[in-house]
Homo-oligomer: A and B are copies of this chain.
Amino acid sequence: MRQSQLFMPTLREVPADADVKSHQLLLRAGFIRQNAAGIYSFLPLGKKVLHKIENIVREEMNRAGSQEMMMPALQLAELWQESGRWYSYGPELMRLKDRHERDFALGATHEEVITSIIRDEVKSYKKLPLNLYQIQTKFRDEKRPRFGLLRGREFIMKDAYSFHDKQESLDETYEAMKNAYSAIFSRCGLNFRAVLADSGAIGGKDNHEFMVLSDIGEDLIAYSNESDFAANIEMAPVLLEVKSSSESLLELEKVATEQAKTIEEVSGFLNVSSSKIIKSLLYMADGQPVLVLVRGDHEVNEIKLKNELSATDVALASVEDTKKWLNTEPGSIGPVSVSEEVKIIADQAVPYMVNAVCGANESGYHFLNVNPKRDFEYSQSADIRFVVEGDKSPDGKGTIVFAKGIEVGHVFKLGKVYSEPMKAAYLDENGKNQIMSMGCYGIGVSRTLAAVAEENNDDKGLIWPLSLTPFDVHLIAVNSKNAEQAALSDELYDLIKNDGFDCLYDDRPERAGVKFADSDLIGLPIRVMVGKRASEGIVEVKIRKSGESFEVPVSDLSSFIKQEWDKLKN
């Protein structure tokens, strides 16, 4: 396309209200414009990238056996009342009335609509499983829309829903969707992880978020530096590493520790490593006292603790409760000689501690040479701490590192959360009525665009991966007013197009500096500049990503571009 005809309004200045790189660059390079807070238009360059993402999503979803359909944005309130979300969703769900005063929701997601369709149409196990998807505009009235396309109020999502009679069938589809998502995000050139996530109130263990590693991410994830293990920081299990100790058990000894209360203070005062200290915390779990023990260099993970205790509510005990149950103040508590009414739970690492330090349940005193089992009992030991960087990966491969992530996808086994209240039932092989199981699978399509932009840029602008670039080659007539350059550029425009590359041809009567700056900003992979050496039949080729630059005779240009394109592919 000739750039003189393209609607691509670029900006020199960084827009004041854009605080992340992707937002700034997508605005500056003329890919998007804001129409209202959290609401954007995709200009032609942005729309082209969006199309490419959508096509990748479509290809991989179809390949995985999902069927495309399209549901409406206007959804009857009655459906949301059936699922209960009309009441629980809060102000993020946009609501309106039609001319007959009937209540509608603007689709934030489509579980209710798809479940209502399937329950009406599918009556027998013979028609299951089903996996259906759509690529569609969603509406969520975020309290604080920000980061441009990353957290908007109107955005494009691919959402898929599957329906099953058997658990194995759901498991199979879940795996197929996970694989499809990996293929999709790989093809988009993203550095992502499938992260094990908390299932929250819904329960169930199969819940993965696809996270692009990024400093501006709002979630913290723990992943292996050598395998594909990754989990939300709250969910990451800890692999127990037992180092057998040759130390002989010394005699229990009570020492005065003055004002030293925190692990750091005690460690300094007694000159012992924090890993030798038993951190003891009194919790109240559903009203009962529980003394929780972890190593001094570890932190209690309350989600794991709660799950391990099968409690609905756990919280640190108050000063009063600590006095009541341990007869001392926080800061010098420990597991030795504790009333039997106080349950003791130890992190799985604690039983392996030898000659450790702990509070003496007496203000200003600690015990030295504390040894589990000899000096105190505990009712259970389990993984109840947060992973830390440097832990061994739970799959045994590599070491845990932390990173922030942008969520671009989510796969989730819903089970019967929607099908039960909405009565999506089928007849099984024995003619018995059964409730369907469901899975749901989402991709933030417009968010993926922003995530790619966030990951692929430099000081000068965007750097598109081949799979998503709005155009393949940027041909620039350095001085369009020079007849020789213009003529050669016109000729090369046809040549490049005929070679099958989508070519943007900067034929504008602008200064070279403006053209080069715009070209860097929009970030097409390969740039061909027709300049002063046009008369000699020589052009300059520049690779956006590496910055490498080559003088290429016109006769070699065709093969040179192909060669560089293939190099960039790998």
Partner-B contacts on A (CB < 8 A): 5-7, 9, 33, 35-36, 39-44, 46-48, 50-51, 65, 67-76, 91-92, 94-96, 98-99, 104, 106, 113, 116-117, 120-122, 130, 132, 134, 137, 139, 141, 143, 153-154
Contact = CB atoms under 8 A, between A and B. Distances in A.
A428 B523 CA distance: 32
A121 B70 contact: no
Given A7-B130, A70-B47, A76 B41 contact: no
A77 to B, nearest CB: 10
A541 to B, nearest CB: 27
A50 B76 contact: no
A91 B96 CA distance: 13
Given A35-B72, A36-B76, A73-B154, A41 B113 contact: yes
Contact of A72 (B92, B116, B154): B154
B33 A117 contact: yes
A154 B50 contact: no
Contacts of A116: 35
Contacts of A50: 70
A94 B33 CA distance: 24
25 contacts: A7-B121, A35-B74, A35-B75, A36-B72, A36-B74, A36-B76, A36-B104, A40-B72, A41-B70, A41-B113, A41-B117, A44-B69, A46-B70, A47-B69, A48-B68, A51-B68, A72-B154, A73-B137, A74-B139, A74-B154, A92-B99, A94-B98, A95-B96, A98-B153, A99-B143
Given A40-B72, A41-B113, A154-B73, A99 B67 contact: no
Contacts of A44: 67-69, 132
B141 A99 contact: yes
Given A33-B117, A35-B76, A36-B76, A70 B98 contact: no
- How many copies of this chain does one complex carry? 2
Given A36-B76, A74-B39, A117-B33, A6 B67 contact: yes
Contacts of A73: 73, 137, 139, 154
A179 B95 CA distance: 41
A98 B7 CA distance: 31
A96 B96 contact: yes
Nearest to A65: B5
Given A7-B69, A76-B35, A113-B41, A96 B94 contact: yes
A141 B91 CA distance: 23
Contacts of A5: 65
Nearest to A446: B70
A28 B134 CA distance: 22
